[in-house]
Structure 1
């Protein structure tokens, strides 16, 4: 019996996650879940990222059958806690000042839910350390004026102009962009292993 290539849905509107998933040459659809992403400082950052990833995937998966749903959530964490997406330029400025000259963590929670029978769900996370160079107020203002920081966790984009401030990283680069592909591939392999399914030659 030939293996079945499942329908895959990405539960995210992020153009960066869409770009990364396209690299795998696996067909997928996009469905956006509307869940509350209010930062909760009373739980560990890793657990928070994993919880949001699962909630995003589960919100889409509950209305689908014969589908594998991928959810992800990326957060930036320093010694003071979680940094979300800045709501305005002043908040972006404060975030970049906070990260300037220091090492922080980027954590992406990933959830993969199969709505095939038997149903299954996997949740994991990836962590990357990032060192931002010491930034002057002028550096920060010039970057903010590009408009890039305003929809990014931690107010910078490593795949964009924000790369000029990244002194080094330790860990998965794609994780900082928004979707750790190596981790995702392992999770997809595991969730399809017990069924007669394949996600193409990358997962064979």
Structure 2
């Protein structure tokens, strides 16, 4: 199946391609602001829908996938850190604690708009100050919600839920929706 990925995340593209989907990357040019006037799951789905709709005019006959991932700890959203200092702060707060990773997803076809949110509970082991500094100094923390990537940090002790959701796209649910669309004949298949 061929998709338009309204995201510049190399991890989302990789997850899709590992499952046999062709993903043409066309990031949405919109402000990625999460509304605080609605429940978080709904706000994430709305942002994903806005991203998909932003690229739809250029690809009116294609299936578009958009997503937005956040880390939630203590009722606070930890998005992508703005600098190394904020990344260190995030990782120190998450050390030895459990947090949630939430991804809002939109799959948009010419006929349908499907949105959903997936949530994974993630528990960090206790982190040493030095390893936090080494990780943030590596530059890997800045482009990830919560300042870490499960695939490259070694910080995670255990998870409850989808591993791929923590990477940035809950593939189990995405594949379920894409399979449904293939059966309905709504998605562009290759």
TM-score between the two structures when normalised by the length of structure 2:
0.92
**1:101 matched to 2:106:** no
Could you say which structure has the larger radius of gyration?
1
Number of residue-to-residue matches in the alignment: 190
Contact 2:33 2:47 in 1 (8 A): no
**1:63 matched to 2:58:** yes
Q: 1:175 matched to which residue of 2?
A: 165
Please report the RMSD computed on the Cα atoms of aligned residues, expressed in angstroms. 1.8
Deviation at 1:42, TM superposition (A): 4.1
TM-score between the two structures when normalised by the length of structure 1:
0.86
For residues 44 and 63 of structure 2, the distance between their equivalents in structure 1, rounded to whole angstroms, comes to: 20
Deviation at 1:84, TM superposition (A): 0.8
**1:12 matched to 2:12:** no
**1:190 matched to 2:190:** no
For residues 69 and 75 of structure 2, the distance between their equivalents in structure 1, rounded to whole angstroms, comes to: 17
Matches within 5 A, 1:111-150: 111-115=106-110, 119-150=111-142
- Of residues 29, 36, 40, the one that matches 1:45 is 40
Deviation at 1:48, TM superposition (A): 2.1
Structure 2 segments unaligned to the other structure (5+ residues): none
- Secondary structure at the counterpart of residue 108 of structure 2: strand
Q: 2:22 matched to which residue of 1?
A: 27
Deviation at 1:125, TM superposition (A): 1.3
Deviation at 1:81, TM superposition (A): 1.3
Deviation at 1:64, TM superposition (A): 2.1
Which deviates further from its counterpart, 16-25 or 184-193?
184-193
- Of residues 131, 142, 155, the one that matches 1:165 is 155
For residues 59 and 39 of structure 1, the distance between their equivalents in structure 2, rounded to whole angstroms, comes to: 16
